[in-house]
Amino acid sequence: MDKAEFVQVETPKGNNDVDVTSTSSEQTKSSPMVSMTKLFTFADSTDKILMAVGTVTAMLTGVSQPVQIIFFGDIINAFNPTQGGKIDDDEFRHSINKVVVQFVILGVLVMICGFTQIACWSIAASRQAKRLRHAYAAAILRQEVGWFDVNEPMQLATKVADTTLIIQEGMGRKVADGINFSTMALSGFIIAFAYGWELALVLFAFTPLIAASGYFMIKAISSATQGGVESYAEAGGVAEESLSNIKTVHMFNAMAKMAEKYKAALFKTELAGVKKGLAVGVGTGGMFFVVFCTYAVGMYYGAVKVTKDQIPAGSCTSHCYDGGRVITVFFSIVMSSMALGQAGPSAQAMFSARTAAHGVFELIERQSKIDADADSGLKPSTVRGDIALNNIAFAYPSRPEVQVCAGYSLQIPAGQKIALVGSSGCGKSTIVSLLERFYDPLQGSVTLDGHNLKDLNIRWLRQQIGLVGQEPCLFQETIANNIRHGKPGASLEEVYAAAKQANAYDFIMGFPDGFDTEVGDRGAQLSGGQKQRIAIARAIIKNPSILILDEATSALDTESEHIVQASLDHMMATGNRTTIIIAHRLSTIRNADRIAVLNAGNVVEDGTHESLLAIPNGLYKSLVESDDFESDEDSSQPVTGHNRLQSRQDALCNDGTGSEVDDNEVAKDVPVSRDWGLSRPEMLNFVLGGLSVVINGTIFPVWGVLLAKFIVPYFQTFRGSDGMRALKWSGAFIEINLLGTYFAKLSACNCM
Ligand SMILES: Nc1ncnc2c1ncn2[C@@H]1O[C@H](COP(=O)(O)OP(=O)(O)OP(=O)(O)O)[C@@H](O)[C@H]1O
């Protein structure tokens, strides 16, 4: 068959599909974003009200800041530092009281609005994120098995958590901040231009520089943050893989190797941290450099204007400048520019959320190719169990070039017991996957009682099939509930009866909690044989029309194997089931009504044990003669590496009742000295960073003193030497500016 035609493909990794394992940075580069309206798809009416209230209060909070600067200008005029004792006491008291009352009212307003905006947006976001997370997880679980072949399952959990967190962040508090800061910037500019457009225009020239430095800092930080998220997801995948296979890790003494692998993955997070620290340091330093330069220029130009206008403080009403007015214009512009910069992270968070949401929504909307949740499809009332594979061709989605079924047919009449044999990897278990409709054939059809499986309801179909596989998968719950997975809602009596038929009743009752015993993570607190018998009980309670035993005893030691085999024999003997057996044990195969031999993607021999042995140079004959099958005597010897592995796992895992974690164990405090001991290699960075932080911390008090020095000349009549004083203090601003820039960089780079 033509390979291109054969791979048509059920592969979910097509252009229209979502690869949730692709990195977010890749998504940012290549994936489009969802619209803002779509981002809030999961908002109900309560969320909408919360967001509306949050928006209004965020705007009020934003406006309150520039208004506060007007009050600040008024209070400076009221204090007028140059009039000393000459000021009229009543007038002074009146002006101060007025501004104080205004400040108190504004403070109360900001307190209420500031709290409400964050509370409303955060609550609305967490409510929506909960629904989104649920829909996202449900969408992942709904996908067909083939989808998981091409999407790293180990990283999915971390991805769901990280992606939805990014979305939650971008649809919650950050939106409130964005509205708040944008309103603040806009109203600040309006006030500045209204109070003194010339000074505002001069200062405004610096705005692009302030905003640009803020923007580049944010961009660098967010790309470093993305990098960190990716690296942590990778490290999380390594940890999850090691911990979920902890016994195998111990068995191969691979603890150190796994720890190394985890360390290597963490190294990338360290790099991302360093990058982020540098971005914060350089960005903060750069931004403050521009801000302080603005101060210097603004203060000087303000001084020039005050000198020129020569108006007593507080008496300027139209187009003129006094000390308070200069302060108002000056701080309104600076605050607005900084607000623009501060709005950057919010905008970035919203963009990240919209980008991340694109992949999530695509997956939520993705129609599973085999949707086990769908109610559609036939649900015949009776099942005979006639199975037919007609001209089947198949390749796995993750390996489309390897043809596992090359177009063969196989009929299995109702009630027949058929054994599938062939060398390892010849495609025996693949038939089971096709029957369970984990995958659809790429060509041909699989039918049950003449119905194409694609026409049947998937839940109904799977209800008709009892599968006991190689590695019984139990869920972390009680034994009774694990058995009930075969028949949800089954009574305790039915559970007991199934356990008895599976030879599991006695050992279960031997546990202190009987059927209420928790089996641990994937049944880790039970032996392989015990797990397998519970899996058989789970299949028995289903009373399936089709029974599939896929190497059901291959992972067991001899003793367990005999007990489990007895349970299986009992199950096969009861009811008129179509039974498909995949086994290595010759006696099991020989007793089958019929044996189909698979090779190179085809059924090459088909008949009874005797008839197949009679074929000269037959494949079955050669398999039997080459000891490829276990004889009953051989079964006392472990055959495969897998057996050995499992037996050792059992030995490791089981003491009959299972190991228990001591819940009462109290976590001990770790001495601080130990923490410091671990950090010793970073001591130089700590010292440098600490010193820089201390020096950086003095910048703002010095700035305060300079500001006071600057304000005093505003209230004096400016002439000749006073202009020089303004220039002198402007120079001082630039000096502390350079110092501040340097130490801001140093402290951020060293203290991550
Ligand atoms: N999910 C998968 N993705 C890609 N290839 C797969 C997948 N599962 C199985 N295969 C490949 O398909 C082929 C058939 O596998 P299958 O499990 O059906 O073999 P098998 O005959 O049951 O082997 P064994 O006796 O060792 O269990 C093998 O080459 C295997 O590597």
What ipTM, to 2 d.p.? 0.97
- What amino acid occupies position 566? A
Whether pLDDT at 346 is above 80: yes
Helices 323-365 and 45-79 pack at an angle, to 10 degrees, of 160
Q: Report which protein residue has its CA nearest ligand 1's atom 28.
A: 425
Q: pLDDT: is 397 or 326 the higher one?
A: 397
Residue showing tokens 């009953």: 632
Q: Which atom of ligand 1 is nearest to the CA of 431?
A: 18
pLDDT value of residue 647: 36
Q: Which DSSP helix (H) or strand (E) runs through 443?
A: strand 443-448
Pocket test for ligand 1, best of 11, 402, 430 (most atoms within 8 A of CB): 430
How close is the Cα of 393 to the center of ligand 1, in Å?
A: 14
What is the rounded distance in angstroms from the CA atom of residue 164 to the CA atom of residue 162?
A: 6
- Pocket test residue of 428, 434, 585, 604 for ligand 1, highest count of atoms within 8 A of CB: 428
- Whether the Cβ atoms of residue 649 and residue 528 lie closer than 8 Å to each other: yes
Tokens of 234: 């990778």
Return the residue whose CA atom lies nearest to atom 20 of ligand 1.
425
User: Quick check: CB of 618 below 6 Å from ligand 1?
Assistant: no
Sign of the CA dihedral with 76 first, then 79, 83, and 88 last: positive
Atom of ligand 1 nearest to the CA of 430: 18
Range in 293-297, 427-431, 568-572, 628-632 the model is least confident about: 628-632
User: Taking 80 as the threshold, does the pLDDT of residue 318 lie above it?
Assistant: no
Give the percent of the chain with pLDDT over 70.
75
Query: Rounded CA gap, 446 and 444, in Å?
Result: 7
* Buried b / exposed e along 512-529 (16+ C-beta atoms within 10 A): eeebebbbbeebbbbbbb
Measured in Å, residue 652 CA sits from the centre of ligand 1 at: 28
424 touches ligand 1 (CB under 6 Å): yes
Spatial separation of the C-alpha atoms in residues 203 and 91, rounded to whole Å: 33
Domain boundaries, the chain: 31-192+346-369, 387-615
pLDDT digits (tens, 9 = 90+) for 227-244: 676 777 777 778 877 887
Q: pLDDT category, 120, cuts 50, 70, 90?
A: very high
Which DSSP helix (H) or strand (E) runs through 244? Answer: helix 207-244
- Upper half-sphere CA count for residue 152 (Cβ side, 13 Å): 18
Residue 598 Cα: closest atom of ligand 1:
21
What residue's CA is closest to ligand 1, atom 23?
425
Tokens of 667: 């976590």
Least confident of 432-446, 486-500, 527-541, 723-737: 723-737
CB neighbours (10 Å) of residue 599?
A: 16
Average pLDDT, integer, range 215-234: 69
Cα 266 from Cα 244, distance rounded (Å): 19
SS3 assignment, position 713? helix
Beta carbon of 629 within 6 Å of any ligand 1 atom: no
405: alpha, beta or left, given left = phi > 0 and alpha = psi -120 to 50?
Answer: beta
- Name the CA dihedral angle for 628, 633, 636, 638, rounded to a multiple of 10 degrees: -10
Q: Is the CB of 425 under 6 A from ligand 1?
A: yes
> Which letter does DSSP use for residue 320 in this model?
-
Q: Hey, which residues does 368 pair with through a beta bridge?
A: none
- Which is nearest to 412 in space by CA: 596, 164, 197, 200? 596
- At which residue do the structure tokens 């360290």 appear? 270
Q: Could you tell me if 420 and 336 are in contact, meaning their C-beta atoms sit under 8 angstroms apart?
A: no
User: Is the minimum distance from the CB of 14 to ligand 1 under 6 angstroms?
Assistant: no
pLDDT exceeds cutoff 80 at 696? no
Query: Does any ligand 1 atom lie closer than 6 A to the CB of residue 394?
Result: no
Helix H or strand E segment including 154: helix 153-171
Q: Is 404 in the pocket of ligand 1 (CB under 6 A)?
A: yes
d(CA 362, CA 296): 52
Give the pair of three-digit tokens for residue 261: 């692998």
CA distance 82 to 90: 18
What is the Cα 734 distance to its own chain's centre? 45
How many A from CA of 156 to the centre of ligand 1?
23
**Cβ 534 vs Cβ 545: under 8 Å:** no
Cα torsion through 432, 578, 620, 586, rounded to 10: 100
Q: Is the CB of 426 under 6 A from ligand 1?
A: yes
| Comparison of pLDDT for 360 and 726, the residue scoring more | 360
Give domain 31-192+346-369's CATH architecture: Up-down Bundle (1.20)
Of the candidate CATH numbers 3.40.1400.10, 3.30.420.110, 3.40.50.720, 3.40.50.300, the domain formed by 387-615 belongs to 3.40.50.300
